[in-house]
């Protein structure tokens, strides 16, 4: 690749997530000043553990959004909750299986299967993604509550130990997997479909298959995120998973991934998620009520997407 191509690529990268990155630096600095003990480098491991499920949910949400034409998976959160319930309630407590070599594949397969169902509904039955995944959202939350009416614990020791610094491992695994995908022709096909599916179809890209696979990837990543959630809470809780969905979509948008598809990447999604986590952290350290937290949260989300949009418009005008 020529240096010229590289610089234009990094410029595009900066345009799409420059604001999120800037916000990250600012929020990190604010956190360091406000709360030096909590943000001491020695405590970063624990912090990553706290942020991991949200980052995982954002990473999981991204692939289908990149695929465009309204692609979205609002069942990511419930999938995490379902994986949480299956791993702890069904496999660990009922069936007595605690080996990571059973639980990890089980979580990944569960996620992938849900992703495949979503993919089947959206690409082959061709139901609008938000409706199809709303359906699976309701089914999964209902089933989760049925097999697990109340929170229950504990989680296997190895899984609980993944809640601290070690939670970097599943995140790294997702990034590694995505890094691999980016080297495949599949990635280019996904992005091409995301920016213009008709043109991609005319150019011979198998639109249905590519989108289907994106849902499977999203589901699998959501399975990993479900494991991270399980590690963090060290138990099974039927009510937590679903709360991640909308925040994850917000994180993805904040990280410069276009909800129209074809623009952005997983790094942006992760930065967006970290932004939201750091924001929660700043607000908490002000010791404000959860109500103020929520106001600030919503306001900054809206302000952030507005600023990103304004910046993009300015950049576009400059180029024109």
Residues engaged in binding other proteins (CB under 8 A): 69-70, 72, 121, 125-128, 130-132, 134-146, 149, 197-198, 201-202, 207-208, 246, 249-250, 253, 259-260, 289-299, 301-302, 305-306, 309-310, 313
Cα 94 from Cα 87, distance rounded (Å): 10
State the number of CA atoms in the 13 A half-sphere of 3 facing the CB: 0
- Alpha helices by DSSP H, the chain: 3-34, 44-66, 76-85, 100-119, 129-147, 157-160, 168-182, 185-195, 197-202, 207-233, 244-254, 266-285, 290-319
Residue with Cβ nearer other proteins (94 or 198):
198
8 Å CB contact between 50 and 216: no
Kindly state the smallest distance separating residue 179's Cβ from other proteins, in Å. Answer: 27
8 Å CB contact between 67 and 194: yes
Kindly state the smallest distance separating residue 293's Cβ from other proteins, in Å. Answer: 7
Diameter of the chain measured on Cα atoms = 63
Q: How many residues belong to the chain?
A: 320
Cα 200 from Cα 189, distance rounded (Å): 8
- Burial code (b: 16+ CB inside 10 Å, e: under 16) for 239-250 equals ebbbebbebbbb
Residue with Cβ nearer other proteins (1 or 150):
150
Q: Give me the DSSP letters along 44-63.
A: HHHHHHHHHHHHHHHHHHHH
Kindly state the smallest distance separating residue 198's Cβ from other proteins, in Å. Answer: 5
Residue with Cβ nearer other proteins (138 or 169):
138
Coil, helix or strand for 152? strand
Kindly state the smallest distance separating residue 253's Cβ from other proteins, in Å. Answer: 5
Residue with Cβ nearer other proteins (225 or 249):
249
Residue with Cβ nearer other proteins (145 or 315):
145
Residue with Cβ nearer other proteins (77 or 234):
77
Residue with Cβ nearer other proteins (101 or 291):
291
Question: Considering Cα of 50, then 108, then 147, then 127, what sign does the dihedral take?
Answer: positive
């Amino acid at each position: 690749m020529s240096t010229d191509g590289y610089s234009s690529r990094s410029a595009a990268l900066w345009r799409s997530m420059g604001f999120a990155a800037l916000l990250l630096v600012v929020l990190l600095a604010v956190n360091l000043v406000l709360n030096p003990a909590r943000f001491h480098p020695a405590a970063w491991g624990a912090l990553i553990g706290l942020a991991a499920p949200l980052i995982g949910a954002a990473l999981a949400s991204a692939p289908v959004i990149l695929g465009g034409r309204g692609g979205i998976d609002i069942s990511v959160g419930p999938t995490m909750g379902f994986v949480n319930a299956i791993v702890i309630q069904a496999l660990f407590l009922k069936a007595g299986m605690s080996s990571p070599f059973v639980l990890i594949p089980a979580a990944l397969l569960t996620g992938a299967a849900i992703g495949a169902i979503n993919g089947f509904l959206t690409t082959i039955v061709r139901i609008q993604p938000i409706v199809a995944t709303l359906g699976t959202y309701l089914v999964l939350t209902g089933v989760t509550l049925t097999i697990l009416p109340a929170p229950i614990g504990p989680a296997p020791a190895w899984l609980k130990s993944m809640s601290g610094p070690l939670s970097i491992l599943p995140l790294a695994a997702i990034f590694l997997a995505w890094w691999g995908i980016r080297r495949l022709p599949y990635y280019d096909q996904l992005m091409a479909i995301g920016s213009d599916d008709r043109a991609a179809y005319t150019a011979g890209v198998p639109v249905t298959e590519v989108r289907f696979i994106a849902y499977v990837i999203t589901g699998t990543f959501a399975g990993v995120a479900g494991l991270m959630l399980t590690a963090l809470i060290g138990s099974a809780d039927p009510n937590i998973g679903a709360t991640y969905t909308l925040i994850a979509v917000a994180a993805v948008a904040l990280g410069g991934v276009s909800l129209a598809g074809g623009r952005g990447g997983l790094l942006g999604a992760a930065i967006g998620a970290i932004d939201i986590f750091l924001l929660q952290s700043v607000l908490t350290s002000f010791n404000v009520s959860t109500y103020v937290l929520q106001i600030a949260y919503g306001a900054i989300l809206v302000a952030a997407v507005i600023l990103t949009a304004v910046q993009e418009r300015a950049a576009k005008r400059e180029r024109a």
